[in-house]
Structure 1
Amino acid sequence: MPVPGSATCSITYRPDLKLLIGRWLHDAPVATLQADYAALLAAAQEHDTGRWLLDVRRRDQLDPALGQWTTSTFYPEAGARMAPQHLRIAVLCSPARLAVYAASARQQEYLNYGLAAERPYQLRLFGDEAQAMAWLNS
Structure 2
Amino acid sequence: MIPEPPQSLLQLGHRPDLGILVGRWAYQPVQPELPAVYQHVETVALAENCRFWLQDIRRRTLNDPQTTAWLLNDFFPGMARRLGGRLFVAYLVGPTLHEAILQQPGYISAEAYDGKPFAISFFGDEGEAIRWLQTQQSGLR
- Once residues 113 and 76 of structure 1 are traced to their aligned partners in structure 2, the CA distance between those partners, rounded to angstroms, is 17
Within the alignment, does 1:126 sit opposite 2:123 as a pair?
yes
TM-score, with normalisation over the residues of structure 2? Answer: 0.83
Which amino acid letter does the alignment assign opposite residue 116 of structure 2? R
Q: Contact 1:71–1:113 at 8 Å: present in 2 too? A: no
Question: Is the Cα–Cα contact under 8 Å of residues 5 and 36 in structure 2 kept in the other structure?
Answer: no
Q: In angstroms, what is the RMSD of aligned CA positions? A: 1.9
Code of the aligned partner of 2:104: S
Partner of 2:71: 70
2:95 paired residue number: 95
Name stretches of at least 5 consecutive residues in structure 2 with no aligned partner: 136-141
- Does the residue aligned with 2:108 lie in a helix, a strand or coil? helix
Match of 1:104 in 2: 104
**Aligned equivalents of 2:93, 2:38: Cα separation in 1:** 16
- Equivalent residues of 2:25, 2:60 under 8 A apart: yes
What TM-score do the two structures reach when normalised by structure 1? 0.85
User: 27-36 or 74-83: which moved more?
Assistant: 27-36
Aligned residues: percent identity?
28
Greater mean alpha carbon deviation, residues 112-121 or residues 29-38 = 112-121
The DSSP-based 3-state class of the residue aligned with 1:73 is helix
- Code of the residue aligned with 2:134 in structure 1: it is N
Secondary structure of residue in 1 paired with 2:128 = helix
SS in 2 for 1:62: coil
Aligned residues: 130
- Paired residue type of 1:71: L
How far 1:123 moved relative to its partner?
Answer: 1.2
Structure 1: gaps of 5 or more residues: none
Helix, strand or coil for the counterpart of 1:137?
A: helix
Q: Structure 1 pair 40/32, CA: closer, same or farther in 2 (3 Å)?
A: same
